[in-house]
Amino acid sequence: MENLSLLYPGGYSEEKRAFYRMKNYDFVKELQLESLIILVKDGYRGMTDLKLRDFFSTDGEVLRYRLDIVEDILKNREWYDVFCKAVPVIRNVSDMSRAMGGEFSIESALGSIRFLEMYIEIVDLFAENILVLETGSKGLRALQDKVREVAEGEEYRNLKRELAKEETNFGLVKSITLGVNLDETLHVQEAGIVSVNMERFHQGTVMDKLLKKTGKESMSYITPLFSINKGLHIGDAKAVETSTRSALNTIFARTIRSFGPAVQKYFSLNTSWLVQILDDIRFLTAGVKFILDMEEKGFFFCKPEVALMDEKRCNLAEVYNPVLAVKEVEKTVVSNSFSYDEKGRFYLVTGPNHGGKSIFAYSIGMAQALFQLGLFVPARRACISPVTGIFTHFPVSDENNYGKGRLESECARLGKIMEVLEDTDILLMDESFASTSGMEAEYIASEVLSNIGVIGCGGIFVTHIHDLTQKLEEYNHYPGNKGKIDNLVAQMENKEGGIRSYKVERTTPDGLSYARDIAARYGLLCRLPGYADRDKME
């Protein structure tokens, strides 16, 4: 069987993985994705820490493969539960596989056999739980086939029979009984093992002594427990340790030597497929946990339809910002709809301050990013094309300007983006050029928008420069234009009271109305005779 993967279709090469990587990853931090998909750090164990950026793909085939797996896991929670149980066991197998290098010896073989016991533990965990589960995804069916192939194989059954024998079942050894001879000064002279026990010793009590429960068959000490290293002279402690190891080697030598070839064979071959899918399972459980946690809070997700990249689609019904939901910033998170069409490939988003414009822009970026991880997205319905890059131009603090003025720094950052921006990318801009005067901001923004139209990329520009919204004809008829620009407006729920609804609609804005709505809310409208009538006429 070819290498098993839960993230890539069968036969998917490393070269293809590299070819279908994203062009940039700054958006991971800008969109706060790592606060949603939390990958546990395991660097302290000697393992590579997972990075979210390594799991993005621009290949629709890969995304469909993952989405089918995620759908199966969400439909049947047992998949998720088994994977959560499997991660620590496979991690231990991986840890031991790195530690079991070097020449074969009795001591290393003891560890190898424990390694095989863990291998049996994880195979049985899968065999007893996932083989009976229904699945429609190719990835999980491949896992079932692999587990069935291993668990029902004669080789595996023979291994279980051998390890089930008491003399080789080292994982059950919990304690040993030592016989120690002392010299005239009561120092340890020699020691040997009296018995190997399948239960631990424990500290006895006064009642145990009174009731005579500390006889020959008892596992209770007649003295308090104490650490060998702390309770014995360093020489005595070393003597006990050396004698114990020597005795264990003597007892198990015959068994180990006869069992050695099987240990080495399984050690090198039969556990590799588990280690290969460990990171896949770690990523999938992190992604599914995020979705399950959100659904428990009452939020909805959907499996997006994967469109071709050339179709350049991003149709989202009732999309919302999951970061607000996770952080519980708002009791009710407002959702909106969004789509590209022949009249709108890039959108100017205007509206009142704190009206939800930036939140809306972030929600579009998050939906696209989660989609390109192969996960469900925060929307009722979605049909999305993969993009090659997700670029962001969001406000940054002055300390990141490196000696440049804020405007110059903004232009420098955006200039680098424009150099590599293509029609298969999206660009999210939030209040760009807000640091300069209205005239300068409008001039620079107009040039940028004309270029965006020529490039034909998708995206959003949240802006306070309302004059831009009246110049769409100019941008859309610029020579070489490939992508139309249109308007979206954050609405007021109660215009007279200036109350925001956070709803975004596709309409032509009236910049003056925003100021009028805010003025009305705070009682700043002029009350001169005839003003109210004039306002109604407008």
SS (H, E, C) 313-345: CEEEEEECCHHHHHHCCCCCCCCEEECCECCEC
Q: State the Cα–Cα distance between residues 170 and 162, nearest whole angstrom.
A: 12
Tell me how crowded residue 134 is: count the other CB atoms within 10 A of its CB.
8
Question: Does residue 26 have a pLDDT over 60?
Answer: yes
Q: Output b/e per residue, 23-32; b: 16+ Cβ within 10 A.
A: ebbebbebbe
Lowest mean pLDDT among 186-195, 243-252, 386-395: 243-252
pLDDT digits (tens, 9 = 90+) for 319-333: 999 988 777 665 667
For the chain, percent of residues with pLDDT exceeding 70: 72
For range 15-36, the mean pLDDT = 95
Query: For residue 360, what are its two tokens?
Result: 């809306």
Are 87 and 281 within 8 A, CB to CB? yes
Q: How far is CA 463 from the centre of its chain?
A: 32
User: What does the pLDDT read at residue 212?
Assistant: 54
Question: Does residue 25 have a pLDDT over 50?
Answer: yes
Question: Does residue 537 have a pLDDT over 50?
Answer: no
Rounded to 5 degrees, what are φ and ψ at 273? -65, -30
Q: Which residue has the higher pLDDT, 518 or 455?
A: 455
Residue with tokens 């424009």: 418
Are 433 and 407 within 8 A, CB to CB? yes
How deeply is 429 buried, as exposed, middle or buried, from its count of CB atoms within 10 A (0-12, 13-18, 19+)?
Answer: buried
Q: State the Cα–Cα distance between residues 496 and 517, nearest whole angstrom.
A: 6
Q: State the Cα–Cα distance between residues 370 and 374, nearest whole angstrom.
A: 7
User: What does the pLDDT read at residue 77?
Assistant: 95
Helix axes 77-99, 106-129, angle to 10 degrees: 170
Q: State the Cα–Cα distance between residues 136 and 510, nearest whole angstrom.
A: 51
Pairing of strands 499-505, 485-494: antiparallel
Query: Which architecture characterizes domain 298-537 according to CATH?
Result: 3-Layer(aba) Sandwich (3.40)
Are 6 and 140 within 8 A, CB to CB? yes
**Which contacts (CB < 8 Å, 24+ apart) does range 513-521 have?**
514/350, 514/351, 514/352, 514/466, 517/352, 517/492, 518/352, 518/353, 520/495, 520/496, 521/497
Mean pLDDT of the residues in the chain = 82
pLDDT band of residue 51 (cuts 50, 70, 90) is very high
Q: State the Cα–Cα distance between residues 205 and 193, nearest whole angstrom.
A: 25
- The angle subtended at Cα 32 by Cα 27 and Cα 37, nearest 5°, is 105
Helices (H), 130-166: 138-151, 154-164
Q: For the chain, give every domain's residue range.
A: 14-169+267-287, 171-251, 298-537
pLDDT digits (tens, 9 = 90+) for 255-284: 555 555 556 555 556 778 888 899 999 999
Residue 275 region by backbone torsions, left for phi larger than 0, else alpha for psi between -120 and 50, else beta: alpha
User: What does the pLDDT read at residue 399?
Assistant: 46
pLDDT band of residue 396 (cuts 50, 70, 90) is confident
User: What does the pLDDT read at residue 140?
Assistant: 97
User: What does the pLDDT read at residue 227?
Assistant: 65
> In terms of Cα–Cα distance, which of 370, 287, 283 is closest to 321?
370
pLDDT band of residue 166 (cuts 50, 70, 90) is very low
Q: What would you measure as the largest C-alpha separation in the chain, in angstroms?
A: 117
Residue with tokens 């998050």: 366
For range 363-373, the mean pLDDT = 97
For the chain, percent of residues with pLDDT exceeding 90: 46
Single-letter amino acid, residue 537: M
Are 305 and 383 within 8 A, CB to CB? yes
DSSP at 32 = T
Q: Is this structure's pTM higher than 0.75? A: yes
Question: Does residue 343 have a pLDDT over 50?
Answer: yes
Stated length of the chain: 538
Tell me how crowded residue 416 is: count the other CB atoms within 10 A of its CB.
11
